[in-house]
Structure 1
Amino acid sequence: MRQLFLFISFLILSFSCLLGHATTVTNGDRSYQEKDFTKALQYYREQVVSAPSSSGYYNLGNTYYRLKEYGQSVLAYRRALRLDPGNTDARHNLSLVETHLTNPISKTDNSVWEALLNDWIDVHSLAFWTYCIFIFLLVSFLGLCIWRFSSRIFVQKTGFSLCCIGVPLVFLSVFSAYRAHTLYNDTTTAVVTGTSLQTSTTESGLGKAGPTLYEGTTVHILDHVSKTTYKIQLPNGVSVFCKVNGLTLVAENKL
């Protein structure tokens, strides 16, 4: 009887949490549609704090964009893509908001391999690549069985071809899954969320001044050289030093 009571209590509590989450989303959407972006921001922030999701961060990014807080908008879109790389709306809007940034730093030209990573492999989630591993393993095993046990030459060739196609795709999927896992756990990507951030070519800050970074600029942290200083890599590949304050990690859920 006690176990039944606990089970029913658990169901009621779960339903209440889901109902509260749905109400928050509905209120946020309603406020957004009514162009009350400040109130919508409050609801969406509550949503991602209680239940972080790609769609929640996407809505948050849209709201920050409407409020012209471009740094926070870039951060929200990147967090949405971290949770779901296949969120094409977030990827499109990220490209859009980056056109509004002040003095953006141009990225270095990508090689063919980097273009393949960015445009095809990195736009799919770990779950997608895990599914691909299973499918291509099945194709490889099926092809091997057909090639091994069939008595017809044509069927044997078909099975051998399936095996030859499936095996490389298995390795590609394993590599892609590992990369997706690495990107999800990446703690080096950060966004400038302050108005501006001064950089220097030396750790002490006494050397030549580096470029000024403005809100929305995405950088990679190379080293945490001290409690107050990061060594970072800019989009153009240049390495500089900056203060910790003003940068927010994409991997964190703190807003």
Structure 2
Amino acid sequence: MKRVILYLFISVISFVNAQNQNPETLFEQANSLYKADKFNEAVKKYKEIEKEGYISDVLYYNLGNSYYKLNQIGPSIFYYEKALKVNPNNKDAKNNLIFANRLALDKIEEVPNSVLENISDNFIMKLSYNQWAVLAVVMAFVGALFFLIYYFSFTSKKKLIFFNISIISLVIFGISFFFAIKNHDLITSDVEAIVFTEKVPVKEAPKMNSETLYDLHEGTKVKVLEIDGEWSKVKIANGNEGWIQSESYREF
């Protein structure tokens, strides 16, 4: 009898522990800690979810908010950027990223976008590649469905309407499919990162004794162009390039 009771007790404890590791449970706990102004504890809970491999713009947004409250500008900008990479239409992350960037020390004037870059930002990057892919699948289904309806319709008026709808759907499918591929290519080809070191010298060459061109500070966004051992060649928003130590930034 004692063994049965012990077995049941262990089973209950195991079940409770399993429930405590549930991402939804951890998320609720983290949110409660955030609302109670316990930001360090909230970060730990959110990070537990992240370590499990979950990808969510809401999770990254909440992490950004927690670090912002802790006045850790680099990590807050890092997670707002991650949130926008998952969901470019997250307006809260966009707005909070603006506030966080204002606290960063480096005020870098961006080079004006080219026509192609404007097209990319205003159309291709308006949705994530997953969202474009879903739209493409939906439009392919709609196009095929209305083509079947057109094929089995009897009146010429209905056939014309259903045929036009199927053609329009297939055109949107083609555009969405192209944008999904282009979006994915742009994201995977451009390696972007946030500087996490308080102050990092940008060198002319990947050597410590090389000439220092300028300094970057925590929270600055860079594009990684090349990696050479412990050094990375980076480019900042105004087009300037240089070498920094790879340990000074984190890719998002």
Aligned match of 2:133: 130
- Residues of 2 paired with 1:227 and 1:27: CA distance? 41
SS at match of 1:245: helix
Q: Which amino acid aligns with 2:21?
A: G
The Cα shift of 1:211 comes to 2.8
Q: Which moved more, 1:193-202 or 1:17-26?
A: 17-26
The Cα shift of 1:69 comes to 0.6
- Residues of 2 paired with 1:175 and 1:14: CA distance? 47
Aligned match of 1:166: 169
SS at match of 1:53: coil
Aligned match of 1:109: 112
The Cα shift of 1:181 comes to 3.3
- Residues of 2 paired with 1:186 and 1:24: CA distance? 34
- Residues of 2 paired with 1:201 and 1:179: CA distance? 33
Q: Any stretches of 5+ residues in structure 1 without a counterpart?
A: 1-11, 251-255
Residues 16-165 of structure 1 correspond to what in structure 2 (within 5 A)?
17-21=18-22, 22-54=24-56, 55-141=58-144, 155=158, 158-159=161-162, 161-162=164-165, 164-165=167-168
Q: Which moved more, 1:190-199 or 1:200-209?
A: 200-209
Q: Which amino acid aligns with 1:244?
A: S
The Cα shift of 1:102 comes to 0.9
Q: Any stretches of 5+ residues in structure 2 without a counterpart?
A: 1-12
For residues 76-135 of structure 1, the C-alpha deviation after alignment (integer angstroms, 9 at most, x for no partner) is 122223334443322332222112211222222123442332244324233321221123
Relative to structure 1, is the Cα distance of residues 52 and 142 closer, same or farther in structure 2, using a 3 angstrom cutoff? Answer: closer
Structure whose alpha-carbon radius of gyration is higher: 2
SS at match of 1:177: helix
SS at match of 1:168: helix
Relative to structure 1, is the Cα distance of residues 62 and 183 closer, same or farther in structure 2, using a 3 angstrom cutoff? Answer: farther
The Cα shift of 1:62 comes to 0.3
Relative to structure 1, is the Cα distance of residues 13 and 184 closer, same or farther in structure 2, using a 3 angstrom cutoff? Answer: farther
- Residues of 1 paired with 2:156 and 2:67: CA distance? 63
- Residues of 2 paired with 1:197 and 1:163: CA distance? 56
Aligned match of 2:179: 176
8 Å CA contact 1:143, 1:158 repeated in 2: no
SS at match of 2:233: strand
- What is the aligned-residue identity percentage? 25
* Count of aligned residue pairs for this structure pair: 240
8 Å CA contact 1:193, 1:215 repeated in 2: yes
The Cα shift of 1:58 comes to 1.5
The Cα shift of 1:17 comes to 3.8
Aligned match of 1:5: none
Aligned match of 1:199: 202
- Residues of 2 paired with 1:189 and 1:215: CA distance? 15
8 Å CA contact 1:126, 1:180 repeated in 2: yes
Relative to structure 1, is the Cα distance of residues 151 and 40 closer, same or farther in structure 2, using a 3 angstrom cutoff? Answer: closer
Residue 214 (str. 1) matches residue 221 (str. 2): no
The Cα shift of 1:48 comes to 1.8
8 Å CA contact 1:82, 1:183 repeated in 2: no
Q: Which amino acid aligns with 1:247?
A: Y
8 Å CA contact 1:191, 1:247 repeated in 2: yes
Q: CA RMSD in A?
A: 3.2
- How high is the TM-score relative to the length of structure 1? 0.77
Relative to structure 1, is the Cα distance of residues 86 and 209 closer, same or farther in structure 2, using a 3 angstrom cutoff? Answer: same
Q: Which amino acid aligns with 2:36?
A: E
For residues 187-244 of structure 1, the C-alpha deviation after alignment (integer angstroms, 9 at most, x for no partner) is 72111011122112333465553231111111111111x2121111211222221111
Q: Which amino acid aligns with 2:138?
A: I
